[in-house]
Amino acid sequence: MTSGTLTLVSTKDDDLSALPVVPARHPWRWVGVAFVLVLAAQFVHGLVTNPAWDWPTFARYFTAQSILTAVGTTIFLTVFGTVLGFALGIVVAVLRMSKSPFLSAVGWTYIWAFRSIPLIVQLLFWFNISYLYQRLSLGIPFGPEFVSFETISLISPMGAAVLGLALHQAAYAAEIVRSGVISVDRGQLEAAAALGIPRFRQFRRIVLPQAMRSILPNAANEVISLFKGTSVVSVMAIGELFYQVQVIYGRNARVVALLMVATIWYIVLTTLLSIGQHYVERYFARGDRR
Amino acid sequence: MIEVLNVHKSFGALEVLRGVSLNVAAGEVVVVLGPSGSGKSTLLRTINHLEKVNRGYITIDGDLIGYRRRGGKLHELKEREILKQRKDIGFVFQNFNLFPHLTALENVAEVAELADARHFLERVGLADKASAYPRQLSGGQQQRVAIARALATRPKVVLFDEPTSALDPELVGEVLDVLRDLARSGTTMVVVTHEIGFAREVADRIVFMDEGVIVEEGPPDQLLDHPVHERTRAFLSKVL
């Protein structure tokens, strides 16, 4: 036994456990940091010293009444686009996941159609719907009418914008909801079924809270993208933020300062949404923390 | 209590159950043994209609499971009615399938009043873990919560699908203790397991399955010590 023993730590001088540890150095990281800091300093210096940024004009318009009203319109469009879009999106996702091949095809077709049409084309289409159908009416299909409306009075430019944004959003929301639902482990549904929990309650209490974990980051992306995407409704002359700054710089030619007004508002509101996202995600992550 | 008659079940071309009949009396504990792929789990899952049978039928306390007999035909029940029937049949999964976003107490309370839920958690010895989330519990504790949850609908029978197979060896004992306790209190149980020692001690009857049929059945000492069938002997020689 003794003859075959290999001794790794032989003498007291070689006792490695007593030696201090020197961490590896990364000098190139410091070079990288210095490089980026210099660039950032130049950028900030330019923002402050270059008169072309025209900060006094920025300050004058940032909280002007017309801009605040436009911010309100942008928020209104985002909220309605999101709420109606996700409500319809949940319906479409349920259709798409239906065991009935017909209903599933209906869901698939909706998603296919509204993902295929560019949002701006769709908005212009709704804006001009009254060329296509002058009157809309409720009644028996192919039979008598009960009430009828002038299309142009029923669908205002604002109505067309909300309709277009919501229908567009619903197609994406449907896929996000579906991806969340199919990410829930099959065993969860089996357990719920084995316990005899009613179908709707299974969805609300078991599936949805777990699906939310993967739905939320994607949904937040969509809300933020819709929030900035509302700027496309400026083609319909609706007074949201981007349209409003265009109108103002059309008058006074202070293009850069007014674009910065819009930019900073978009950044502020996106930041608020991101903070909200953090807290909502944390709520749905309960049970995942030790 | 449970009557399984001539049940056949196929997954595509693969016939997993090939005419299985089994009766379980009230208060009886039946352990199902057999090699993997023998159809044990599928049999258990047909009893609470998680799997639809292709032929044959199952009754619990005289109630046909999943169907209603009317005018010489078997009418498939609506999902709502099947879910109601399942309240009579507790089911414990190999992988626990606790709801991860709910605490231990909330898991049980999903199917019972809060006071009842506490009572059942106490019964499996986990009253002090009521507010813990599944992830914070050991495998053995999770399975005990799952058992409490299965008991919470006050079922007539409880089915256990390899309840200790996903556990570390040192955690198996605490789960088997709970099963032992339930068996002693007169719960009607069907247990699919590989724990031969547990089967010998607790089972009133052991059923040995292979290739989708019941090869033989009998009291533990007879089936384990004097198996009649060659296939039973071959299986036992590998696991004992």
DSSP, res A150: E
- Return the residue matching tokens 């009416």: A137
- With contact defined as beta carbons under 8 Å apart, do B40 and B31 qualify? no
**Tokens linked to A229:** 């995407």
Domain ranges of chain A: 56-283
Residues in chain A closer than 8 A to B102 (CB atoms):
287
* Residue B185 backbone phi and psi in degrees, to 5: -85, 10
Residue A33 CA neighbour count, 13 Å, CB half: 5
How far, in Å, CA of A275 to CA of A4, rounded? 65
B70 touches chain A (CB under 8 A): no
B94 touches chain A (CB under 8 A): no
* Residue A24 backbone phi and psi in degrees, to 5: -65, 140
Per-position DSSP letters for A199-236, written without gaps between them: HHHIIIIIIHHHHHHHHHHHHHHHHHHHHHHGGGGGGG
Domain B25-49+81-237 has CATH 3.40.50.300: yes
Residue A191 confidence (pLDDT): 96
Mutant choice from A98, A188, A189, A195 vs B, greatest count of B C-beta within 10 A? A195
pLDDT tens-digit profile of A66-114? 999 999 999 999 999 999 999 999 999 999 999 999 999 999 999 999 9
- Return the residue matching tokens 């949404």: A273
* Residue B29 backbone phi and psi in degrees, to 5: -115, 115
This complex has an ipTM of: 0.90
Residues in chain A closer than 8 A to B133 (CB atoms):
286-289
pLDDT tens-digit profile of B104-138? 999 999 999 999 999 999 999 999 999 999 999 99
Q: At a CB cut-off of 8 Å and minimum separation 6, what does B105 contact? A: B114, B117, B118, B121, B130, B131
Question: Taking the model in full, what pTM does it have?
Answer: 0.80
Domain A56-283 has CATH 1.10.10.10: no
pLDDT tens-digit profile of A170-206? 999 999 999 999 999 999 999 999 999 998 999 999 9
How far, in Å, CA of B174 to CA of B180, rounded? 10
Per-position DSSP letters for B13-53, written without gaps between them: TEEEEEEEEEEE-TT-EEEEE--TTSSHHHHHHHHTTSS--
DSSP, res A146: E
Residue B72 confidence (pLDDT): 87
CB contact (8 A) between residue A191 and residue B98: yes
Burial A161-185 (b: 16+ CB within 10 A, else e): bbbbbbbbbbbbbbbbbbebbeebe
